[in-house]
Amino acid sequence: MNAETKPKLALYWAASCGGCEIAVLAIDERILEVAGAFDVVFWPCVMDGKVADIEAMEDGSIAVCLFNGGIRTSEQEYMARLLRAKAKVLVAFGACAQDGSIPGLANLLDRDTIFRQNYVESPSVDNPESTLPTATTTVAEGELHLPAFYDTLRTLAQTVDVDYFLPGCPPEADRIWDALSAILAGDLPPAGSVIGARTTVCEECPRTRHEKKVKEFKRTWQVIPDAETCLLEQGLVCCGIATRAGCGARCPSVNSPCIGCYGANDGVQDFGARMMTALASIIDSNDPREVQRIIATGIPDPVGTFYRFSLANSFLRRSRRPVAAGAAAGAATRGED
Amino acid sequence: MTDLEFQPKIIGFLCNWCSYRAADLAGSTRTRYAPNVRYVRVMCSGRVDPAFVMKALSLGADGVLVAGCHPGECHYLEQNYKTMRRMTMLQHTLRQLGVEEGRVRLVWASAAEGHRLAKAIDEMVDRIRSLGPLRWPAGWQERPEVLAAIERVASEHASAAQEVAT
Ligand code: FES
């Protein structure tokens, strides 16, 4: 097949770590089959390409776009809109695009706090004038623009319509290959669905399960768990119960609890809520004081534990932001008389 | 004075066997109490998933009340103990997200305790009124200059593309 007749493929990254890009290459020599089957028109991480070339293309002329990363700046949002228009099938690739993932945990803060921390307060930063990035700077030659930085990181689907989700941090090579083959064969699930398993990590986990009752939650550094029993039964917060299968239970297989990188399984609307429900059920106490203590000491960072990969895609999306401008103006002025 | 105009919107999940009847009783005995709670009847307080509470807040509720049978009196044996543990877990998480104490409450009220429920609701409404509106979805909005920036990027690209084409 020559480049004209091959379906076009684009890959892009936004607020992500770059691991998803590596994951695509982790399909090993099958990458040659991808190159054989698709005409790769845009992939800034590995080849030169110009946004203007994409803008010049007809809408819908890219067969598939694999988009990783959440949306944190105006530039990323622009690229998401552009690639949405040009791609027939837009895939939210990986945990960041799907659920916000680790960058989404910054939704516990806001832009000003993040900037202050990163550009002023961080011990390794030398910035005596406390200069902060601004979206607009005026110089002698005119105005210069940087992408504007959002207070709240959004998922790809909160920004544009997404056709499919490929979960994982990063997606496993075999699952990527499955998805690409399915796209090539035109053998796809209904739009809007996750390309992946319909069960939880527990189903793939080799450990044995009994009735769960715990008096204490432990952190991984406090114990060396036994290799056979369910980690949750041993008091470790393992997220396998809420997490979609697909990884082959990699972490529990090596004595490390699941942290939920594959995101919520089908039917789980809010990952953290499912974890809270499950963990609350197994606490072996009916005494409110003792329950308080078990939770407060065993789970010192509930958001980081229950929403490590999904804060931006949870019902609440972020921590409370006192809305100073615009929206809450009414509240601020009320009661002043 | 004008503060009194703020009427908190509270969603109440009430157990069919006790608290919902307590609310009925409060009504039929003409107990006066704050009218701010919109009730949702559930078969047991154990039916209330933390997701219900967070969804309510995310849709604009100022607070959420969960009410069930007294410990030991749940019609499904132990479920209200689970509710207690779940709500403790949820409140622990909500604290980290900046939701003030008192916006999400668990109350036990039997079918005979219309007064108790009414009093708990009055207290809750007072507390939330003093905290002010929650306005959760407003916290997702970006600042106007950010919204302007994305439109600027789009129009810059569009005009650049036009220049190339001509
Ligand atoms: S039946 Fe009322 S709390 Fe379970």
Instruction: Report whether pLDDT(A328) > 60.
Output: no
Q: A184-188, A211-215, A284-288, B58-62: which has the minimum mean pLDDT? A: A184-188
Hey, are the CB atoms on B135 and A288 less than 8 Å from each other?
no
The distance from CA A232 to its chain's CA centroid, rounded to whole angstroms, is: 24
The model's pLDDT over A98-128, given as tens digits with 9 standing for 90+, comes to: 999 999 999 999 999 999 999 999 999 999 9
pLDDT at A245: 96
Instruction: Report whether pLDDT(A313) > 80.
Output: yes
In chain A, pLDDT over 90 holds for what percent of residues?
82
Q: Give the burial class of B155: count Cβ atoms within 10 A of its Cβ; 0-12 exposed, 13-18 middle, 19 or more buried.
A: exposed
**Alpha-carbon gap: B70 to the closest alpha carbon of chain A (Å):** 12
Q: Is the link from the previous residue into A170 a cis peptide, with omega within 30 of 0?
A: yes
Task: Label residue A327 by pLDDT band (50, 70, 90).
Answer: very low
A139 pairs with which residues across the strands? A142
How high does pLDDT run on average in chain A? 92
The alpha helices in chain B, defined as continuous H runs, are: 19-28, 50-58, 79-96, 114-131, 144-165
Torsion of CA A191, A195, A199, A202, to 10 degrees: -150
In the structure encoding, which two tokens stand for residue A110, read together?
């806001």
Instruction: Report whether pLDDT(A332) > 60.
Output: no
For residue A133, count other CB atoms closer than 10 A to its CB: 13
pTM (2 d.p.)? 0.92
Residue boundaries of the structural domains of chain A: 8-100+155-185, 113-150, 201-300
Q: Tokens 């929650």 identify what position?
A: B134
ipTM value, please give it: 0.94
Q: Which one of A217, A277, A308, A313 would you mutate to disrupt binding with B, by most B Cβ within 10 Å of its Cβ? A: A277
Most confident of A1-10, A31-40, A300-309: A300-309
Task: Label residue A331 by pLDDT band (50, 70, 90).
Answer: very low
| List of domains in chain B | 10-165 (3.40.50)
Q: Give the burial class of B6: count Cβ atoms within 10 A of its Cβ; 0-12 exposed, 13-18 middle, 19 or more buried.
A: middle
- Of residues B155 and A58, more confidently modeled: A58
Instruction: Report whether pLDDT(B3) > 80.
Output: no
Instruction: Report whether pLDDT(B15) > 70.
Output: yes
Name the architecture of domain A8-100+155-185: 3-Layer(aba) Sandwich (3.40)
The model's pLDDT over A232-289, given as tens digits with 9 standing for 90+, comes to: 999 999 999 999 999 999 999 999 999 999 999 999 999 999 999 999 999 999 999 9
Alpha carbons A293 and A288: distance in angstroms, whole number: 9
Instruction: Report whether pLDDT(A224) > 50.
Output: yes
Q: Tokens 């768990």 identify what position?
A: A225
Hey, are the CB atoms on B135 and A331 less than 8 Å from each other?
yes
Helices first, then strands: H and E counts in chain A: 14, 9
Instruction: Report whether pLDDT(A330) > 60.
Output: no
Strand A71-73 vs strand A149-154: parallel, antiparallel, or unpaired? antiparallel
Is the separation of the CB atoms in B94 and B42 below 8 Å? no
Nearest to B138 among A74, A81, A328 (CB): A328
Nearest to B85 among A52, A273, A283 (CB): A283
Hey, are the CB atoms on B146 and A277 less than 8 Å from each other?
no
